[in-house]
Amino acid sequence: MYKVLKAPKKVGEATLSGRGLVNLPAKAMRELGWKAGDKVIVEIVDENIISLVRKPENFAEAFAGKLTDVFGDHEETLAYLEGERRSWDSD
């Protein structure tokens, strides 16, 4: 199953300071549940587009189970691994 991305929603504007600082609109912070002190990952998406993603405290917990549509569920992964391991023994 694929996740459908939502269309961007404008929640305000911000201005870059001379030092490259940006104050994010309070409305956006509230809607996302972000708070002062959260770390963000900055990604360049295109020529004039950057993406801010809140950095998870624990990457393993944050991404656990997120790619099941790519790699299958837990049982399918175990079956694949077992088949691979059996092929090693036959050499």
pLDDT digits (tens, 9 = 90+) for 23-80: 999 999 999 999 999 999 999 999 999 999 999 888 888 778 777 777 778 888 899 8
Q: What's the pTM?
A: 0.58
Domain coordinates of the chain in residue numbers?
21-55, 66-91
**Of 59, 58, 78, residue with least CA distance to 68:** 78
Token pair in block for residue 38: 């959260």
Whether the pLDDT of residue 22 is over 70: the answer is yes
Contact between residue 41 and residue 52 where contact means Cβ atoms under 8 Å apart = yes
**Tell me, what DSSP letter sits at residue 57?**
S
Q: Does domain 21-55 have CATH number 2.10.260?
A: yes
Alpha helices of the chain — where are they, by DSSP H? 26-32, 59-63, 68-71, 74-89
Per-residue model confidence (pLDDT) at position 3: 63
Q: Give residue 15's identity as a one-letter amino acid code.
A: T
Q: Give residue 86's identity as a one-letter amino acid code.
A: R
